[in-house]
Structure 1
Amino acid sequence: MIVLTIDQRGSRASEDKVQALLEQLRGVQTVRPFQRTAGDELQAVLKSAPDAMGIALHLAQSGDWSVGIGVGPVNEPLPKETRAGSGDAFVYARSAVEAAKKSPANLCLRASEHESAGERLDASLQLVSLLERRRSSPSAEAGRLLASGLTQREIGDSLGISQQAVSSRLSSGLWNEVERMKAWIADDLQELSQ
Structure 2
Amino acid sequence: MFVLTVDQRKSRQRQDLVEAAMGALNGDALRPLVLPFDRTAGDEMQAVIAEPAVVVSIAMELAASSSWSVGIGIGPVKEPLPENTRAGAGEAFERARTAVTAAKAASGNIAVSGESPLAEQAEALLQLLVLVARKRSKMAEEAGILSDQGLTQQQIARQLGISQQAVSSRLQSGLWQESRRVLSVAESLLEGADR
Structure 2 segments unaligned to the other structure (5+ residues)? none
1:138 aligns with 2:168: no
1:79 matched to which residue of 2? 82
1:48 aligns with 2:51: yes
1:152 matched to which residue of 2? 153
Q: Which among 89, 92, 101 is matched to residue 89 of structure 1? A: 92
Q: Which among 108, 111, 114 is matched to residue 111 of structure 1? A: 114
Deviation at 1:165, TM superposition (A): 2.2
SS of residue paired to 1:13 = coil
* Matches of 1:11 and 1:46, distance apart in 2: 25
1:25 matched to which residue of 2? 25
CA distance 1:104–1:188, change in 2 (3 Å): closer
Per-residue Cα deviation, 1:125-153 (whole angstroms, up to 9, x for no partner): 11111111111222212111211221111
Query: Any conservation in 1 of the 2:70–2:99 contact (CA below 8 Å)?
Result: yes
The code of the aligned residue for 1:42 comes to M
Runs of 4+ in structure 1 over 3 Å off: none
SS of residue paired to 1:76 = coil
1:62 matched to which residue of 2? 65
* Matches of 2:114 and 2:164, distance apart in 1: 43
**Which one is further off, 138-147 or 33-42?**
138-147
The code of the aligned residue for 1:18 comes to V
2:184 matched to which residue of 1? 183
Deviation at 1:29, TM superposition (A): 1.9
1:124 aligns with 2:125: yes
The code of the aligned residue for 2:137 comes to S
Structure 1 segments unaligned to the other structure (5+ residues)? none
Count of aligned residue pairs for this structure pair: 192
Q: Identity percentage over the alignment?
A: 50
Per-residue Cα deviation, 1:63-99 (whole angstroms, up to 9, x for no partner): 1111100011112222223112221111110011011
* Matches of 1:160 and 1:78, distance apart in 2: 49
The code of the aligned residue for 2:139 comes to P
SS of residue paired to 1:12 = coil
The code of the aligned residue for 2:147 comes to L
TM-score for both structures, normalised by structure 1:
0.93
The code of the aligned residue for 1:43 comes to Q
SS of residue paired to 1:6 = strand
1:15 matched to which residue of 2? 15
Deviation at 1:106, TM superposition (A): 1.6
